Structure 1
Amino acid sequence: MFHAKIKSETLKGIVDVVSTLVDEAKFKIDPEGMELKAVDPAHVAMVDMRVERTAFEEFSADDTEIGVDLDKIKEVLRLARSGDVIEMEQDEDKNRLVLHVGNITRRMNLVDTTGMNDPKVPNVSLPTKIAVTSDELQKGIRAAESVSDHIALTASPDGFEMFSEGDTDSVSLKLPKELLISIECDEKVRSLFPLDYFSNMVRSIPGGSVVSINLGSDYPVKLQFDIADKKGSVNYLLAPRIESD
């Protein structure tokens, strides 16, 4: 059993974070909230999310799981206005999710979760940790997208840099430690990542958020941030693109 009411903006933030990587998702729901772990089809990136019950206007649930087509949720969100509250309820008899927004009711079949695995979050020890605003990251992404299809993230005790180099041009965003919220870095580290994945992840982060970037040399990058007015948390993991000599 699952029944909840949630602000449309909050639901949109949850959907944006997940739909960056997958079209269909399995939400595990318990009396205290919901969580999701998913890997993209190419097994390059992973999302690990937890949303507490306090992020909802109303929330009641038993232990259950639902498979959802995220594009269908987006269709409902397009019908909602700012400030609208969306009501969601699980119809267990018909295996449906029923959503109410205003005077509109949308009933959608749930996705079979049998083939959806439960990926384990890798326990990667990353030596460097940087805290920066999402606005700065988005600025670096906008600059890089016209230059290359990959991006290098570099950190040193002096600061953090995002660098992209194409056939003819290059672009970099340098943030000295004075412009970072915090930095923990003993030695220089650098990893290269596919820009399309990194860009989509960064664009899903709410504006004005504080993002924790965990980084190593030729290791995955881990992005950590809050959603739903800090009543939910997200971890993104993105595999590196190993540079050939």
Structure 2
Amino acid sequence: MFKADLKSDTLKGLVNIISTLIDEVKFTITPEGMTLKAVDAAHVAMIEMEIGKDAFESYEAEACEIGLDLDKVKSVLKLASSGDIIRMEQDDTHGRLVFKVGNITRRMNLVDTASMNDPKVPQLSLATDISLMVDELQKGIRAAESISDHITLRAGSDYFELSCEGDTDSVSLRLEGESIVSINADAEVQSMFPLDYFSNITKAIPSGTVVRVELDSDYPVKLVFALADGKAKVNYLLAPRIESD
């Protein structure tokens, strides 16, 4: 059994983040909230999300799993205005999740979760972590998108840099001092990543969000941030692009 009310803006934010990687998702539901772990088809990126019950306007649940087609959920979100409350209720009899937006009711068939295994989340101890506003990352992405298909992240004891180099042009964004919320780095590190993956997740994070970037040389980058006023937590891992000599 699962029944919950959620603000449309909150649901939209959660769906936008998840759909940067996958179209169908399995939510593991408990009385305390919802979790998901998913990896994209190319096994380049992984997302882990915890949504506490306090993120909802109301929440009642027993332990269960629910599989959703996110494109269908997006079609429900198009029916809602900012500030609307969306009611979700599991219909066990017909294998559906029922959405109610105002006087509109949408019944959606659930996706079979039998083949959706939870990926194993690697336990990484990365050398550097930097906290900064996502708006700064988004600014760097906008500058880099016309230059190349990969992006390099660098960090030292007092700076963070995002750079991109193409055949003829290059661009970089260097953050220091008050442009960084906090930084913990004992040595310089750098890694290169596919720009499309990094761009998609960065653009989906709401403006004004503080993102913790955990980085090491030639290791995955980890982006950690919160949604729903801190009541939903997201870990996003992106594999590096290793250049051969």
TM-score, normalised to structure 1, is 0.99
Q: 1-side partners of 2:176 and 2:23: how far apart? A: 38
CA contact (8 A) 1:177 1:183 kept: no
Q: 2-side partners of 1:36 and 1:207: how far apart? A: 23
The runs of at least 4 aligned residues of structure 1 exceeding 4 Å deviation read none
Q: Which residue of 2 aligns with 1:151?
A: 151
**5 Å matches for 1:69-148?**
69-148=69-148
TM-score, normalised to structure 2, is 0.99
**5 Å matches for 1:51-62?**
51-62=51-62
Q: Which residue of 1 aligns with 2:43?
A: 43
- Paired positions, count: 245
CA apart distance, 1:158: 2.5
**5 Å matches for 1:165-184?**
165-184=165-184
CA apart distance, 1:206: 1.3
CA apart distance, 1:31: 0.4
Q: Which residue of 1 aligns with 2:21?
A: 21
Q: Which residue of 2 aligns with 1:164?
A: 164
**5 Å matches for 1:220-231?**
220-231=220-231
Deviation digits for residues 142-171 of structure 1 (CA, Å, limit 9, x no counterpart): 000011100000001130000001111100
- Taking every aligned residue pair, what percent have the same amino acid on both sides? 64
The one-letter amino acid of 1:122's match is P
Q: Which residue of 2 aligns with 1:65?
A: 65
Unaligned segments of structure 1, at least 5 residues: none
The one-letter amino acid of 2:200's match is N
CA apart distance, 1:58: 0.6
CA RMSD, aligned part only? 0.7
Q: 2-side partners of 1:229 and 1:65: how far apart? A: 25
Unaligned segments of structure 2, at least 5 residues: none
Q: 1-side partners of 2:165 and 2:103: how far apart? A: 51
Q: 1-side partners of 2:71 and 2:161: how far apart? A: 35
